[in-house]
Structure 1
Amino acid sequence: MKTLLTISVLALLSACSGKETGSTESGNILENLSYSVDTVVVDSGEDIFDLSGLVHLSTQVKNPNFIYQFDEKQSKIHKIDLDSKSLISTFEFEKEGPDGIGKTFSGFEVLSGERFLIASFESQGVFDASGTKEFDLNVSDYFDPENDYQEELLIPYELRLSPDGKYAYVLAGDFFEGIWYFARLDLVNKTSRVWEMPELLSSKDFTIMLTSETFDLRAEDVHLNKLKDGVAVTVGSSSSVYAYYPSSDSLQLIKFPHTLTAAEKSGTYPPEVSSQNGFEKVVAAIDSEISFDALAWDSSTSRYFRFASRKPTIASEKEEVFLYAYDAGLKLLGEQKVDGLTSRPTNYFFKDGKLYSYVNVEDELGFAVFTFDF
């Protein structure tokens, strides 16, 4: 194991306290926020972690000691013990055939008993540790083809399974059109219920295409978050959350009274740009507005936390990073600027009351481990 005192990716300080304050009806619990940070690096043994592109990580809800990393290129899932900081096993999958996971990966979830929900544009299903497909969860089987939203729902972006395995929750839509749907699939009775999410339509305003000899796309992150008692949809351009609770079988829009930052992006930008330089300028302007990340549940405090950031338009300035806290019912409890962080943490989750965030440490899989005090 290697321990680093600094990480260039995050430019972290070993301890820091915030100065700016926000307010909520219940007071700002993060007003006196301070933190310390350690860095751990995972020993991959004789294997190699592919960190060249997007790094896909998932944790077990009931056992946060283990983290799983999905390797798109080799169709493998690595199981990592965070206590020993080492790779302990690897699961291999086929891309094609009856047990194929598909070629265009979109996401995965770790289930009980060393099983995995793996989703791609071509295939969705539950697989065991040997790579055998236990259950084919083809979302197109659950929808009426005469419905107007059928085409978008055929391409699930993210999937989650209910704890009892009876329901699947689907986030599906179209980045280009900004149309997003949430669906609850009844896996026993082969039925579905679909909700539109009009609050997410504005995310299209921040989808920018480069239409020159090369193609590039900038779009807002959209995520299907696991909640303690349900799931929630978050989008980078807005602090608002769509929360689904099985007890009421309803999708609720929740807005927050943020005072420290704007609640959403508001600028106007061209949908297409014909030059690389123009594309980079528009992207920089969008990134200078507030961008919100996914929710992370901390079982030790029974609270949710999330980060947000604003990137500078001037190279000499630093990115601003913010932290928000919510109670179990998603009521805003506090907000604070996190001085000392010059990059928003990514792929973060809680273990033993500490926040773990993925970092690439000289092409090794590493985690910044935050201890918060407020």
Structure 2
Amino acid sequence: MKYFILPIAALLLISCGGNSDQSSAGNYADITISMDTVVVDSGDEILMAATNFYNQTLNQSADRLYFWNYRSHILEIVDLNEMVFLEKRRFEKEGPNGVGQFPNRIILIGEDKIGFVQWAQINIADMNGNLLKTISIDEDWMKGELNENESLIPYGFSDDGETLYCAIATPQRLNSNFIEVDLTNKKTKLIELTEFDKREKFRVTFTVEMNGGISTSTAPPSLDYTRHKDKLIFCTNVFNNIYQFDPKTNSLEYITISNSLTPNEKIKDYENDVNSEEAFFRIMNEIQEEVSFSNLLWDDVNHVFYRITSFNMPRIDQEKIKSKVFISIISEDFKVINEKEITDNVDGVPNGYSGVC
């Protein structure tokens, strides 16, 4: 029997005092935080999921973790309720069921399909490895809302796989909008996240001439997309505020979330374009010393969101970077019920947490 530690590193266990009425804010008046290592029974298997966080994907109900090993074309599946490894599934590179030579990431579609992303192409297969269809995200009809040199970055699908949501890649100023792609009717819709345009203030780009050409490295702030029931939540690590989009009504709402223990956004001014590697990393570190926000994680048992807020402390010589870390409990209508500093409960900024009441 083998066990492995998931590289989500730690699980925050959040217990809530008070009465049994889950709708009462008083139920969260006293938060107890503990930290545990996520250990999974892998049977006799050696799992690549234990080696890195990249390419780990959760299903919508957050009870299955999928790890895509693009080198071996093997999908590893872990049951997060029972903390046991379930199985490995191999997908073909070529042939009638080939999902591509270099699909470096996956997108889950409902509970029974997977999109394998390779450059400007998504190969969609079922969980048994049967290729269902191939989608190009570089077709002319998809580019109506794009400027020259912009391209689509696929983020997620509707459950039926007929609608694709994409961010926009651009070589110049950041574009914070999303594109809703109707694959059935071949139509696109621009989702304008205008308040997120301020992300541009916190981008840093290093450009240098190299071997007769130009090499560019960019560190942009995050732009994230999560689904909550029938709606989409867009957020960034720069602001506490979010956007919520309802595809059924085509309505977009900008929602203010206010914490009292930390600032609610980054505020400083930075040099965005630098010509030395030293300046690039210095400014990156300075930006990380301002407040940052995680995605909102929905707790389907207690019907609240959890969110991690953090900022790095100034680094002293070559010491390990230390962070101040906080957690917020947020109602379904995005009101902060409670918040607490948890720096002493964690070793760094956690990226896995759950609630227990």
**Do both proteins adopt the same fold according to a TM-score greater than 0.5, normalized to the shorter chain?**
yes
**Partner Cα separation in structure 2 for residue 176 and residue 50 of structure 1:** 35
**Partner Cα separation in structure 1 for residue 305 and residue 100 of structure 2:** 32
Normalising by the residue count of structure 2, what TM-score does the alignment of the two structures yield?
Answer: 0.80
Higher normalized contact order (CA 8 Å, seq sep 6+, divided by chain length): 1
- Larger deviation, residues 237-246 vs 204-213: 204-213
How has the CA–CA distance of structure 1 residues 327 and 345 changed in structure 2, closer, same or farther, with 3 Å as cutoff?
same
Q: Does the CA contact (< 8 Å) of 1:105 and 1:120 recur in 2? A: yes
Aligned-residue offset at 1:88? 2.3
Corresponding position of 2:178: 182
Instruction: Give the one of 310, 315, 320 matched to 2:324.
Output: 320
Corresponding position of 2:251: 250
**Partner Cα separation in structure 2 for residue 234 and residue 319 of structure 1:** 21
How has the CA–CA distance of structure 1 residues 95 and 254 changed in structure 2, closer, same or farther, with 3 Å as cutoff?
farther
Aligned-residue offset at 1:319? 0.6
Aligned-residue offset at 1:286? 0.5
Q: Does the CA contact (< 8 Å) of 2:154 and 2:165 recur in 1? A: no
**Partner Cα separation in structure 2 for residue 334 and residue 15 of structure 1:** 12
Q: Which amino acid aligns with 1:306?
A: R
- 1:3-28 CA-partner distances (Å, limit 9, x unpaired): 99xx9x66x999999xxxxxxxx968
Corresponding position of 1:198: 194
Instruction: Give the one of 323, 348, 355 matched to 1:343.
Output: 348
**Partner Cα separation in structure 1 for residue 311 and residue 266 of structure 2:** 11
Q: Does the CA contact (< 8 Å) of 1:173 and 1:179 recur in 2? A: yes
How has the CA–CA distance of structure 1 residues 202 and 15 changed in structure 2, closer, same or farther, with 3 Å as cutoff?
closer
Q: Does 1:167 align with 2:169?
A: no
Normalising by the residue count of structure 1, what TM-score does the alignment of the two structures yield?
Answer: 0.76
What number of residue pairs does the alignment pair up?
337
Q: Does the CA contact (< 8 Å) of 2:109 and 2:160 recur in 1? A: no
Q: Does the CA contact (< 8 Å) of 2:74 and 2:89 recur in 1? A: yes
**Partner Cα separation in structure 2 for residue 91 and residue 169 of structure 1:** 27
Which ranges in structure 2 are unaligned for 5 or more consecutive residues? 17-23
Q: Secondary structure at the match of 1:281?
A: helix
Corresponding position of 2:115: 117
Q: Secondary structure at the match of 2:254?
A: strand
Q: Does the CA contact (< 8 Å) of 2:110 and 2:161 recur in 1? A: no
Percent sequence identity over aligned pairs: 20
**Partner Cα separation in structure 2 for residue 272 and residue 157 of structure 1:** 27
- Larger deviation, residues 73-82 vs 45-54: 45-54
**Partner Cα separation in structure 2 for residue 260 and residue 306 of structure 1:** 13
Alpha-carbon RMSD across the aligned residues, in angstroms, is 3.5
Question: How do 1:1-374 residues align onto structure 2 when only pairs under 5 Å count?
Answer: 31-44=29-42, 45-49=44-48, 54-62=53-61, 64-94=62-92, 99-101=98-100, 103=102, 105-109=104-108, 111-113=110-112, 115-141=113-139, 143=141, 145=143, 147-149=145-147, 151-152=149-150, 154-159=151-156, 161-174=157-170, 176-212=172-208, 216-315=217-316, 318-340=322-344, 341-346=346-351, 348=352, 355=354
Which ranges in structure 1 are unaligned for 5 or more consecutive residues? 18-25, 350-354, 356-370
**Partner Cα separation in structure 1 for residue 103 and residue 205 of structure 2:** 21
Aligned-residue offset at 1:70? 1.8
